[in-house]
Structure 1
Amino acid sequence: MDISIVLYSHDSVGLGHARRNRPLAYALAAHLPALVGGTVRGLLIAGHPDAGRDPLPEGWDWLVLPGMTRSSDGKGFRPRRLDMHGERLRDLRSATIDAALAAFDPDLLIADRHPFGIDGELRPVLANVRARGTRTVLGLREVLDTPRVAAAEWDALGGAEQVAELLDAVWVYGDHHVYDPRLTGELPGPLARLAITTGYLGHGRPAGRPSRGRTSPKPPPPYVLTVLGGGSDGGELARIAARATLPEGHRHLLITGPQMSDADLQEVREIAAHSGDATTVVHSAPDVPELIAEAVSVVCMGGYNTLAEVMATSTPALVVPRARRRQEQPRRAAALAALGAVETLDAAGLTPQDITAWLERSVTTRTDRTGIDLDGLSVVPHLAARLLNSSVRTAPEVTSHAV
């Protein structure tokens, strides 16, 4: 049968949600056709213009919505660029999504992290697609927030039971031996009963935007790497890392992230210039997973996608998690550090000397992460096939991940 899939991410802050959906698109495009016996096409709905710059599989495309971002008080959302009231833009986005899905008629809709999108923009969409027979999935990173904050967020949506009524499944993109939101209380009973852990989306992640006209910024080895995800909140760590003293004979590549402000980027470049040519600062790179794998050490924040890429290597990692607004990153870093997969330091009080000391220690070591399940991208197509057609035989490894 021929299958149409939609993956949604609202992308109000950074690109973490779209960066999870894109490797899922590649995995589904590569493996689902053999499981369902037909073609697979897809549409990725995103809320940030930078999302659409990265390539997609053949037969897939982006639908980039007018952007919304958090208001200055952090309690709501406002248009990123359009001069119109936030509620009107939310309605415009909702109507756009609804019209697109009515025309595209997907068999499967996967929403990343937020089941109803920004200010409920997906709520009427979910009701409409389910009436047409579309299967609906909520995809979640393994850590949401503290249990108290997570419970308040589910309550604000009308309660976990109401959310669960509009879903067929919840896929948790993590290893339950590392962190299980069903046990911490972040996933209440009605949603926990729908939830399956897939393994981290680590192995098999696709490359970034094509490097046509761009060369990799990879310095001559040996080099240490600082990578800050989207970079919108990485300015302070970038400044500290740029001031660190490098181990003798090593170079330093610092990738700020495409969402770092121009002012922060300029300041980091000025700091790095004092090291002569030992530190190279770039806004972005097309081959971050390869750069992480070939670095002798990496300093990073605690975002899901960055750590999924780190976990797929043996490169020692120092994680300095963002701790404001959410406790997601500190909780993830602590869980991985407890297994010896990373080391972690708090951002508060962090100094260049701390990073200097860690680099001196780490550049001659490697880290064994073979015990962590990183095979989510090979598991999700089997889960999708099972959801779309209960008669499809699932591979044995799905059972071990899903139980």
Structure 2
Amino acid sequence: MTQAILQLPLASSKRPVRCVNAEARKLRIALYSHDTMGMGHMRRNLMISQALSYSNLQTNILMITGAHQASAAQMPPGVDCITLPSLRKEGNGNYLPRSLDIPVEDLKGIRAQMIRASITAFEPDIFIVDNVPRGALNELDTTLRDIRRQRQTYCVLGLRDVLDEPEQVKTEWRKAGNEEVINKFYDKIWIYGDPNVFDAVREYKMTRDIANKVSYTGYFDRRIRFEQHTEHTTKPSRSEFNLPGGRFVLCMAGGGQDGAPLTKIFARATFPADMFGVIVTGPFMPPEMKAELHYMAASRTNLKVLEFVNKPTFLIHQADYVIAMGGYNVVSEILSFEKHALIVPRTTPRHEQRLRAERLKALGIIDVILPDQLTPEGLSAWMENASRYPSAPSVHAQIDFAGLSRLPALVNEICQIKQ
């Protein structure tokens, strides 16, 4: 197999990176997401995989994810996934097995061995880790040491726009030894945001060595993913969700693990006369909460409850207004389509969603209400007021949304493969 060895500015090991001649073997890219609360990390990696798969790069892509819902997603060409036994994150920040009745350390060991075996067998040229440098419960440590010793894989840490309050990030990174791990094992950091919204390098006072690894990609424009998806697959329609025609308000609870309060209040709100409401519970909402929402919807003719939806972008595209929690993915989707939106950010165990929502509210492109201020009357009033102002917020003129378009160039920059 013909390979070119390129000397690039790397992590402290100064190792050579194996970049594959496109004529000899397709570029192999592995992506990891721990997925312990919701599905945001997995969905972000799926979007990255799609952007690279449909680019001019010749790739084979392996996703390693803690969300078994990934297996229900329609994978782009040349993309496959391995799902790990799942963890869940409690409100206090601790991890527990989501399904298996075994000690968490045993589950960590299983996941760590699966990750290590997958990376060893796949031999990726690039390994992209989402958000957690050492993985959940440090499950990536052995794999990262293997990669460094073999000196054949370029490691990228992908971070969302906002992590948490700066002091909290500082404390967590110091406790986890993240700066040392990043300096030792990671060659590049991609921040999936716009520094004009939140400048993570400045806000988190990153050291010069770490800051030098950073590239801001811009936010991910979901319109690109939506167009690519509909171009290569059967176009979605409202009939798939048993939705009638007409205008509607969409309420999204993220993964659903802590989304019940928002959805129950939405189910009691009054919708504008010409609109109906749609709730997406998320797959992790407790069954008794889902049953309660279905019971509430049964007494109304203008309310529909959906559970797990593997095409949420279509619903956001179709909706007239969106009321949602403030996770990175759903906010990016809302902004991509320039929807009227009310964000109800999660405030525990992290303040990431609140910080993001406050910055975007300051730009005048979303409205925000905190969970402890949420009432049916407040939601009803917001929807009524939104119906009086039909013009969409001007998002793309203010925020960089070229992230998905830039990713192939960033990969090409790493390996300098001639397309």
TM-score by length of 2: 0.87
1:122 aligns with 2:140: yes
Q: In structure 2, do the counterparts of structure 1 residues 79 and 290 end up closer, same or farther at CA, with 3 Å as the change threshold? A: closer
> CA-to-partner distance for each residue in 1:157-177, whole Å, 9 max, x for gaps?
225133222101000001111
Structure 1, residues 31-58: CA drift from partner, whole Å, max 9, x if none?
A: 151xxxxx31011001121122112122
2:185 aligns with: 166
Structure 1 pair 192–319 and aligned structure 2 pair: CA distance change class (3 A): same
Whole-angstrom CA distance in 2 between matches of 1:241 and 1:369: 26
Aligned to 1:383: 410
- CA offsets 1:145-191 (integer angstroms, 9 cap, x no match): 00011011111222513322210100000111111111111644432
1:369 aligned to 2:387?
Answer: no
Map of 1:223 onto structure 2: 248
Q: 1:64 aligns with which of 83, 88, 113?
A: 83
The equivalent residue for 1:396 is none
Which has the higher mean CA deviation after the structures are superposed, 202-211 or 90-99?
A: 202-211
2:55/2:408 contact within 8 Å kept: yes
Structure 2 counterpart of 1:254, which letter? I
Q: Secondary structure at the match of 1:41?
A: strand
User: Which one of 104, 125, 130 corresponds to residue 107 of structure 1?
Assistant: 125
- What is the identity, as a one-letter code, of the residue corresponding to 2:355? R
**Shift in Å at residue 90 of structure 1?**
1.3
Among 241, 253, 261, the residue aligned to 1:236: 261
Gaps of 5+ in 2: 1-21
Q: 2:108 aligns with which of 86, 90, 96?
A: 90
The residue number in structure 1 matching 2:301 is: 277
Q: 1:293, 1:314 within 8 Å by CA — same for their partners in 2? A: no
Which residue, 240, 248, 271 being the options, matches 1:246? Answer: 271
Counterpart residue identity of residue 31, structure 2: L
Report the Cα distance in structure 1 between the residues aligned to 2:335 and 2:205, rounded to whole angstroms. Answer: 23
Compared CA separation, residues 187 and 293, structure 1 to 2 (3 A):
farther
Partner Cα separation in structure 2 for residue 194 and residue 163 of structure 1: 9
State the distance in 2 between where 1:309 and 1:99 align: 34
1:264 equivalent to 2:283? Answer no
- SS of the counterpart of 2:51? helix
- Any idea what SS the aligned residue of 2:54 has? helix
Structure 2 CA distance, aligned partners of 1:156 and 1:205?
37
Greater shift, 365-374 or 182-191, is seen at: 182-191
1:23, CA displacement in angstroms? 0.6
Deviation for aligned residue 1:195: 1.0
Which residue identity lines up with residue 414 of structure 2 in the other structure?
A: L
Residues 256-292 of structure 1, C-alpha deviation per residue, up to 9 Å, x if partnerless?
1122111111112222333x21111111334322322
Task: Supply the RMSD in Å over aligned alpha carbons.
Answer: 2.2
Contact 1:219 1:251 in 2 (8 A): no
The size of the alignment, in residue pairs, is 385
Given residue 102 of structure 1, which amino acid in structure 2 is its aligned partner?
T
**Counterpart Cα distance in 2 of 1:287 and 1:217:** 14
Q: Given that residues 71 and 81 in structure 2 are in contact (C-alpha distance below 8 angstroms), is that contact kept between their aligned partners in structure 1?
A: yes
The match for 1:52 is: 71
Task: Give the Cα–Cα distance (whole angstroms) in 2 for the partners of residues 374 and 14 of structure 1.
Answer: 23
**Amino acid paired to 2:393:** T
Bigger shift: residues 47-56 or 352-361: 47-56
Partner AA of 1:111 in structure 2: V
The answer on whether the counterparts of 2:42 and 2:65 sit within 8 Å (CA) in structure 1 is yes
Structure 1 equivalent of residue 92 of structure 2: 74
After TM superposition, give the deviation of residue 29 of structure 1 in Å: 1.1
Moved more, 224-233 or 165-174: 224-233
Q: 1:243 to 1:140 in 2, by over 3 A?
A: same
Cα distance 1:324–1:386, how it changes in 2: closer, same or farther (>3 A)? same
Partner of 2:61: 42
